[in-house]
Amino acid sequence: MRWLPLLVVLLAPAALADTIAGKVVGVHDRDSLTVLVDRRQIKVRLADIDAPELKQAFGQRSKQSLSDLCFNKSATLEDQGQDRYGRTIARARCAGEDASREQIRRGMAWVFDRYVKDRSLYADQDAARTAERGLWVDPKAMPPWAWRRAKKLSEVP
């Protein structure tokens, strides 16, 4: 047990290295932000969620919801790597509020089944669906990954 304090001291810097603090200076769409960190802009894709595309029903409302949550507010990011577009994938807390969880609670996003790490988000999604909040007013709401796939198939000659 004498090694435990030493282990905590050794691991603490690694845990802190994955957290980034800054200010949200842009909301690009329903699940992407730009965060200013030390005069450098970082493009961020919110982890664990996928929100309606801008041309889908609730796409504009989802973007407005994320803007209300995060724009011009302080943010802490839990870095989870990068996506194929070079954006930082992160869970973002805007002014202390978990943006991914709040978008789910408001019915402005789906849990991104393919990439979700925080499975507790499903309970929030179920509650939003039961209460018919946001996009859940439509019983046939289409997840964005299915919408993108259908759009891509319709464009094939």
Residues known to be catalytic: 45, 53, 87
| Integer CA distances (angstroms), 155 to 53, 141, 143, in order | 17, 21, 19
Q: Find the angle CA(73)-CA(76)-CA(79) to the nearest 5 degrees.
A: 135
Asked whether the beta carbons of 70 and 99 are under 8 A apart, the reply is: yes
CA 48/CA 5 separation, integer angstroms: 33
| Integer CA distances (angstroms), 54 to 46, 58, 89, 144, in order | 16, 8, 20, 10
